[in-house]
Structure 1
Amino acid sequence: MNASATNAPADADAPVAMQVAAVQMVSTPDVGENLNAAAELIARAADDGAELVALPEYFCFMGRADHEKVAIREHDGDGPIQDFLSGQALRHRVYLVGGTLPLVCPDPDRVFNSSMVYGPDGTRIARYDKIHLFNFRRGDESYDEALSIRPGGEPVTFEAPLGRVGLSTCYDLRFPELYRALGDVHLILVPAAFTYTTGKAHWETLLRARAIENQCYVLAPAQGGRHPNGRSTWGHAMLVDPWGEVLDVVPEGPGLAAGTVDPQRLAEVRAALPALRHRVM
């Protein structure tokens, strides 16, 4: 497992409560427009007291065709989108999770779909390349992320004052074995761009299931609305607690789903129902 402890609390065994926010956007094919929209929402979240802010999948770019993301790919550690994320984290002194952005991969016609995490000092502390690639065909709807994305292969966590945080992206949500591979985490992040069809059917159910079975918080930023490329995303960015209760949700359009990740609440749930200790496989 690839994990980074940069900016971790001095006593990793004593996590503290943190205010968190999931950003919901309706991204477009214009990178500059999207970064400006993200900046406004990050500032709102920070002004409201958020200490960790997470952007949705494809926050920086929702092209009119899958292959268009290849044209704006960046090299790891170098590029305007990564500079934006680092600068915003430093400016607002927050942990900032850049939902996903396209990074160079060994295949010339594909990219990694990567989540990047920056600490309050602007330093990058984690990178996760989306492992499971969405493929859906029904009627006129057809998606195949593998045409333009190369899958990652390693689960990733990082340390924050609230405890260990596990990274995942969108379609990963359907694969519980990934979350078990993260180990003992206090918070799972799921930046997503769920389609309207699959989101309406499964999004909340899956988020609550991951929270319940891992007895941790789940923060899920989302794309939510009708995009210029004609795609409709489900939205419903939300924060779910370890008992599976939805603490906040944004149904549609730009906004913030925010709340507190409270280690005491997490400990209470795990003490009352010690399911993690009862695992035998």
Structure 2
Amino acid sequence: MKIAVVQLNSSDDINSNLKNICDEIQEHSSCDLICFPENSIFMRSRKDQKIAAVLDEELTPVSSLAKEYGVGVLLGSVARGAGKPKSTTIYINEDGDLSEVYSKVHMFDVKISGDRVYQESDDFTSGTEPKVLSLDGWKWGLNICFDLRFSEQQLQYYKKKVDVLFFPSAFTVATGRAHWEVLLRSRAIEGQCFVVAPAQVGDHGEGRKTWGHSMVIDPWGRILNEIDGGVPGAFEVQLERELLDQARAQIPMYH
């Protein structure tokens, strides 16, 4: 399975974000799937900005390109639903059909020494359960950002024998520098599966900075490709089922 992983510096300008997403779809249209990070459509630049649900019609440019090029698109998280929305992963298939496939379970409610306070539950409603997405015979275990830290959710995916864990994220610089890579590699090794982690990067206003370092990790814990933390970018990588089989044969665990 050939995928593209995209690192963005999203803003509160939905049209600008959509243009960047559409440009990346055109650039990587030969892939089977193009993966985008958390908050790909909208990332607020001020704490007092209201987070409004993204409507289907606002995603029409993305679904039209998916259909035109016959490529799947995973939008890491988009605000969806009436009232207080959910942070939801959107899958758009090669026919341009849109579906909500997972809503973030664990809200980022933290106070980090030397960093700002985050209270995601003020703006979003939690999802209720892990979800598996089947794509071309590959089973993807879906997460969003802070879900990465919760091993009990990942264990549910391991027991379901997923082939890929998906972690679209917007890690802060403070938490990313300390924990991002080690957590991702641990999940790949524990689950004997690929980890795909597209991330936000850079300055988003009012001192909020994200870590970047989007990466794909194989079932042995090796980083197959990574984008530096400084700027947006993208890469393509082939997920080889042979690597899954090798890791699982050498150290039988869930399989």
Query: Residue 260 of structure 1: which of 234, 238, 254 is its match?
Result: 238
- What's 1:149 paired with? 124
> Shift of the alpha carbon at 1:65?
3.1
**Aligned-partner Cα distance in 1 for 2:203–2:89:** 23
**Tell me, what secondary structure is at the counterpart of 2:195?**
strand
C-alpha contact (below 8 Å) 2:88/2:100 kept by paired residues? no
- What's 1:221 paired with? 198
Runs of 4 or more off by more than 4 Å in structure 1?
A: none
- What's 1:8 paired with? none
Percent sequence identity over matched residues?
Answer: 34
**Aligned-partner Cα distance in 1 for 2:239–2:100:** 20
**Aligned-partner Cα distance in 2 for 1:162–1:258:** 19
**Tell me, what secondary structure is at the counterpart of 2:207?**
coil
- In structure 2, list runs of 5 or more residues that go unmatched: none
- What's 1:60 paired with? 41
- What's 1:188 paired with? 165
> Shift of the alpha carbon at 1:229?
4.2
- Decide whether aligned partners of structure 1 residues 37 and 69 sit closer, same or farther in structure 2, where only a CA change above 3 A counts: farther
**Tell me, what secondary structure is at the counterpart of 2:66?**
helix
Which stretch has the larger CA shift, 122-131 or 267-276? 122-131
**Tell me, what secondary structure is at the counterpart of 2:174?**
helix
Amino acid at match of 1:188: L
- Decide whether aligned partners of structure 1 residues 66 and 169 sit closer, same or farther in structure 2, where only a CA change above 3 A counts: farther
Query: Residue 24 of structure 2: which of 28, 38, 41 is its match?
Result: 41
**Tell me, what secondary structure is at the counterpart of 1:21?**
strand
- In structure 1, list runs of 5 or more residues that go unmatched: 1-17
> Shift of the alpha carbon at 1:187?
1.0
Q: Are 1:139 and 2:119 an aligned pair?
A: no
- What's 2:13 paired with? 30
**Aligned-partner Cα distance in 1 for 2:225–2:33:** 15
C-alpha contact (below 8 Å) 1:57/1:170 kept by paired residues? yes
CA-atom RMSD in angstroms: 1.6
- Decide whether aligned partners of structure 1 residues 140 and 207 sit closer, same or farther in structure 2, where only a CA change above 3 A counts: closer
**Tell me, what secondary structure is at the counterpart of 1:228?**
coil
> Shift of the alpha carbon at 1:24?
0.1
- What's 2:250 paired with? 272
Matched residue pairs, number?
Answer: 251
